[in-house]
Amino acid sequence: MKKCPYCAEKIQREAIKCKHCGEWLIKKDSLQASDNTPLQSDNINDNLLMCETCRIVKPKGDFINDLTICKDCCEKNKQNQ
């Protein structure tokens, strides 16, 4: 977890958009994350999905197969059952 630099709410470390205030955490002109970590793809939209449960935009690798729910939310659902 990390804090959003705009609203100070806790967000996922991999988040590129804050789910609380809606601010983008990337520099669109340089395609880098706000902490200057280069993104893994030149075409950012092809490698990102939004989880239907937590509404956080994450890399496709954070999802199980073709599900639209991220691994974190899947684990939480399993624990709550």
**All structural domains of the chain with their residue ranges:** 2-80
pLDDT at 8: 93
CA 8 to chain centre: 16
User: Rounded to two decimals, what is the model's pTM?
Assistant: 0.42
pLDDT at 11: 92
pLDDT at 41: 41
Reported as a single tens digit per residue, the pLDDT across 24-72 is 887 654 444 445 555 444 445 667 888 888 888 888 888 887 778 888 8
Smallest CA-to-CA distance from 6 within 57, 41, 58, 15 is with: 15
pLDDT at 37: 52
Other beta carbons within 10 Å of 57 = 23
Q: What is the DSSP letter of 77?
A: H
The letter for the amino acid at 24 is: W
* 62: helix, strand or coil: helix
